[in-house]
Amino acid sequence: MQYQALYRKYRPKTFDEIVGQKHVSKTLKNEIKANRISHAYLFCGGRGTGKTSTARIFSRAINCLNNKDGNPCNECENCRGILDGTILDVIEIDAASNNGVDNIRDLREEARYTTSVASQKVYIIDEVHMLSTGAFNALLKLLEEPPSHVRFILATTEVHKVPKTIQSRCQRFDFKRISPQDIAGQLRFICENENIKFDEKALSLIAHAADGAMRDAIGILEQCLSINENCLSYKDVSEFLGAADNDILESYVLAISEGDAPKVLSIIDNYVNEGKSVLRFCEGVVSYFRNLLVAKLTPNPHTALDVTEEEGKRLKETADLFTHEKLLYGVDLFLEGINTLKFLESSKTLLEVLSIKLLRPNLSNDIESLQVRIAELEQKIMRANFKPESPKDVISEEKTKEEKKETKKTQKEETPRQQKPQGGGLAKEVKSALKDIIKILHERNHSTIMMALSNADFCDDDGKLGIVFPPELADTFMPMIKEGKEVLEGVIGEVIGKDVTISLKRENEGIKKEDKLNELLNSDIIKIED
């Protein structure tokens, strides 16, 4: 017996066998049962979603002699004749190759003649959007005044190219992308029916790779079976698709969250040395970050992502290691990288550069990386572990505060107001109180000032507090401090108990460079405990 491709062998024969399009199947069945059949239908949707199969089932159902609950019996003379092509009352036309006005004029002439065997003549016009303007105009006239025995089914993957005048004269049905779960279920049925041993993870990988197209999924399955005829393994499918293993992606993402650059570069090196596609890896990273975003935003990620409960829990835990901004930054970064890969020979180098940018957002001065840095700083502050005080400590602290207030009041009465600090020591004093300064800025939603401080040094400048920036960052952060100068002076003065005036400096103006705030955040002075 001649071999038949699996997608043809398992093409649905009834409405009930159509996968993932219940809204279409149910409506068409009800119309057939109620004998309310329209003269024209428009089937829209992506490739491999079941448009042509549904059209063929519909053509048999309306001509079936023993209709069963709206489904064709596939056993009567009419059904068998339409199936094997001996009845010529069901005509399929490929509009991609028959798109001229003359082709539609010929169709109009043929449509006038009555049927030969069946009760209804059905024209299935596939890829109808490929028709020329003249052909659409000719078809429009036929749709306006169709013969009573003629039915039209127009199928297209690009409905926006079909004129509105055509669409308005048809019943429109939109075919959805088939879910990975439904695709995996159909693949499981095929494997069981063909006595093929299979790995559930392999079916899931094929289902996701098919991107909502059942025909593509069955095609991938058939090609993978060529590797090992009676067995479908995850390893074979992964190698065939050139896709990054989920474990590899998970290790990569966890290394990113830990800031472990050597580990990230090692993962990339091992992956590329195995001869796998860098493009597939980038696509995998985008998909993984997308899943983490969904997991971060939904209470039940396993439901939203169509994964097991355990996998959903693990994604949730991983998502908590990142800010929303970092995940979005990663998606944008790798999407841009995917576009660049088309024009770049050294794909490994690009992947390494993308990874370093994701690891070290501070190396970039664009808005996106700046937002990531602000968000990460805010997250560190939010996660700071401030130990709760005992009631005794609270009472004691309140007494101390009252005593300080009385002392301060007395001092104000006896001595004039303290003047602005002159001389050294102010910068050191500010650094010692930096944790409290940052905390107050965060509470008052001054994130830009916080971000600017994280890239600044401090010095004493003739009684003023000098805030110093490296030349490459000065243009970015000095305007932020300048805009919030009064706010920052007020907060610093509030914390250290002195009036403070700020001056802005560049490193090349002769100011000695101090330790950066980024280092201070990890020091014993203002260490933040997670």
Query: So what's the pLDDT on residue 1?
Result: 55
**In this structure, are residues 111 and 151 in contact, taking their beta carbons and an 8 Å threshold?**
no
CA 185 – CA 125 distance, rounded (Å): 30
Query: So what's the pLDDT on residue 530?
Result: 43
Cα dihedral sign, 485-490-496-501: positive
Query: So what's the pLDDT on residue 521?
Result: 45
**In this structure, are residues 36 and 165 in contact, taking their beta carbons and an 8 Å threshold?**
no
CA 230 – CA 246 distance, rounded (Å): 25
Q: What domains lie within the chain, and their CATH numbers? A: 6-175 (3.40.50.300), 180-241 (1.10.8.60), 246-359 (1.20.272.10), 419-520 (3.30.300)
Query: So what's the pLDDT on residue 526?
Result: 42
3-state DSSP call for residue 22?
Answer: helix
Q: Which of 67, 68, 104, 111 is nearest to 89 (CA)?
A: 111
Chunked into runs of 10 residues, the chain (530 residues) has average pLDDT values of 78 89 91 90 90 91 88 89 86 87 87 85 91 90 87 92 91 90 89 86 84 87 81 80 76 88 88 82 87 84 72 85 85 86 76 85 63 66 50 50 55 44 66 81 77 78 84 77 84 86 75 44 44
Q: Within a 10 A sphere around the Cβ of 280, how many other Cβ atoms?
A: 16
First to last CA, the chain: 68
